[in-house]
Amino acid sequence: MAPSSSPLRSTSEGDEKYANVKWEELGFALTPTDYMYVAKCRRGESFSQGKILPYGDISISPCSPILNYGQGLFEGLKAYRTEDDRIMIFRPDQNALRMQAGAERLCMTSPSLELFVDAVKQTVLANKKWVPPPGKGSLYIRPLLIGSGDTLGVAPAPENTFLIYASPVGDYHKVSSGLNLKVDHKHHRAHSGGTGGVKSCTNYSPVVKSLFEAKSSGFSDVLFLDAATGRNIEELSACNIFIVKGNIVSTPPTSGTILPGVTRKSISELARDIGYQVQERDVSVDELLEAEEVFCTGTAVVVTAVETVTFHDKKVKYRTGEAALSRKLRSMLTNIQMGIVEDKKGWMVEIDRCQGW
């Protein structure tokens, strides 16, 4: 893609620094930006460099596998603006690797790690003025890999489309002290041998009913139990969960039914750095109810404390606020992401160049 013909030029030179957005009012809702990235490849071929196009609707066949059979994956990651006006992305290589694992599970062709990261960079550069000011939010980046092309029967997609769009966002949950969770003992998010361990599009629509009902009853989110025994906690509708008791931090293992979250992995490492013992193991709902502290992690929620959990007719309250480990871990993570402290982990990738620019 030659620089003279790239729409990246129009957003990185000569335009206003920021889009016309009320940054203080940002929540986790779509604010359409200017551009998106699109690449396609036929089955049996490899992805080559895609294009930055104006953000808008896409054309797709009615008999495409994504529409008929849910053959698709998505990712989520964020870009941040630092005080010295650098734009940084958090661990995009981990999202690329997770998409590759999901693509293998769904018989899809995925972009290479290098192409994925470069495409994310291009998308952020094209939408640079939509990256919020420091401390006002982040640019949420949504890569999609969908089965496109024409096919009537259940089979690998004849074509795969890799698409990335972005939106400035604020907090996912608007809560003062912490989340109020309801344990769903009737419905399950995933089962052994299914797709719970990859970020398949099909994982999310089945949780909507439970989530809607919980929110209608005043809860923040739903916590699901394992399908095999109904005794162990797994994850929320769209994020991982941790419990704290003493010096031990425990989180359910990514053994096929739980998504290996990038934030989950990062927070586990940070907790170990400050002396906590982190265990990845089965965590029973009974242990959850006896924990001192509970928190959840994810790209959207970052690190968010859980204030209460309700299981049947039992409601338990947990430690939150300044004394909570979740508050410390959130601060440690966001300070790295926003460039407030030195990134000694090598987690942040600066948007300074990309192949398509």
- Strand 302-311 and strand 314-317: pairing? antiparallel
Q: 252, 235 in Cβ contact below 8 A?
A: yes
Residue 337: what residue type? Q
Q: 202, 195 in Cβ contact below 8 A?
A: yes
What is the Cα–Cα distance from 294 to 241, expressed in whole angstroms?
7
Question: What residue has token string 């030179």?
Answer: 13
Per-residue exposure over 299-316, b if at least 16 CB sit within 10 Å of its own CB, e if not? bbbbbbbbbbbbbeeeeb
Beta bridge partner(s), residue 103:
none
Task: List all residues 6 or more positions away from 212 whose beta carbon is below 8 Å from its beta carbon.
Answer: none
Q: Two tokens at 89?
A: 């992305």
Please provide residue 121's backbone torsions phi and psi, each rounded to the nearest 5 degrees: -60, -45
Q: 72, 205 in Cβ contact below 8 A?
A: no
Other C-beta atoms closer than 10 Å to the C-beta of 113 total 16
Q: Two tokens at 78?
A: 């964020």
Active-site residue, 199 included: yes
Question: What's the residue count for the chain?
Answer: 357
Q: Two tokens at 200?
A: 């398949």
Beta bridge partner(s), residue 145:
73, 162
DSSP assignment string, 248-296 = EEEE---SSSS---HHHHHHHHHHHHTT-EEEES--BHHHHHH-SEEEE
Residue 70: what residue type? G
Q: Which of 51, 129, 199, 245 is catalytic?
A: 199
DSSP at 56 = -
Region of 193 on the Ramachandran plot (φ > 0 left; ψ -120 to 50 alpha; else beta) = left
Q: What are the catalytic residues?
A: 199
